[in-house]
Amino acid sequence: MMMRFIAILTTSAIAATIPFFAQTTHAQSEVKFICSDGFDRASGQRLPTTYAWTEKGKIAIVRWSKKWGSGQAFSPQKRCEEVSPRFQEAFNNGTLNFITNGTINGQPAICAASEDKGACQTLLMTLRPEENPLQILNELKNVLNGRSAGPIQHSSGTPQVYYQVDMKTFLSNAPVEEE
């Protein structure tokens, strides 16, 4: 009788945890990083914007305003379309909790690492040579840590710095952008 009671209790405990894990996995899969136009109050224009799309709405992360490179090869729209999936990749593989600066293919870059002091694992964005990687990294850290009222404006011999960001808290507390 006691063995049957323990078996029923164990089965009930396992059954009770399955929805929790399924909900956690489902909630994480509901976060999508997308590129979409967003209204920039400073310029009064709609600009390509990298968003985290959550169940509560669109959260602006990077507003793209300047081209990169010669011609329109890397227009703000193209940059947004290339970078947004990188945020998704970093979020999905768990590296978006540590962001850092580095150099990739001779270009300054912002990337994600799996641990503090870890190597760049997921390239988030390549920067123009005239851009200050620490400034961009600090702005991104402030956005992802909820210390900024809006997205970073990506427009314009550096030590490597690491910041830990709590994506779960950010996605839960960040303001949703209204259209």
- Read out DSSP for 91-131? HHTT-TTEEEEEEETTEEEEEEESSTTPPP-EEEEE--TTS
Cα separation, 138 vs 156, whole angstroms: 14
112's tokens: 């994600």
- Per-residue pLDDT for 1 more than 90? no
* Distant-in-sequence, close-in-space partners of 132: CB < 8 Å, separation ≥ 6: 158
* Top-ranked range on mean pLDDT: pick from 16-20, 45-49, 154-158: 45-49
* Distant-in-sequence, close-in-space partners of 168: CB < 8 Å, separation ≥ 6: none
What are the residue boundaries of the structural domains of the chain, listed by start?
A: 31-173
**Range from 10-14, 100-104, 125-129 carrying the lowest mean pLDDT:** 10-14
Rg (alpha carbons) of the chain, rounded to whole number: 20
Give the pLDDT score at 36: 96
Query: What is the number of alpha carbons within 13 Å of residue 97 lying toward its C-beta?
Result: 11
Residue 98 to residues 30, 41, 72, 129, 151: CA-CA distances in angstroms?
21, 29, 31, 23, 18
112 touches 98 (CB < 8 A): yes
Q: Coil, helix or strand for 160?
A: coil
The residues facing 161 across adjacent strands are none
Give the pLDDT score at 14: 38
What band does 177 get if pLDDT is binned at 50, 70 and 90?
Answer: confident
Give the pLDDT score at 128: 82
- Per-residue pLDDT for 84 more than 60? yes
Cα separation, 61 vs 84, whole angstroms: 10
What band does 173 get if pLDDT is binned at 50, 70 and 90?
Answer: confident
**Entry pTM:** 0.70
Q: What is the mean pLDDT of residues 47-71?
A: 86
Give the pLDDT score at 154: 61
Which residues in the chain belong to E strands, given as ranges? Answer: 32-40, 45-54, 57-64, 98-104, 107-113, 122-126, 152-154, 162-164
Cα separation, 178 vs 57, whole angstroms: 9
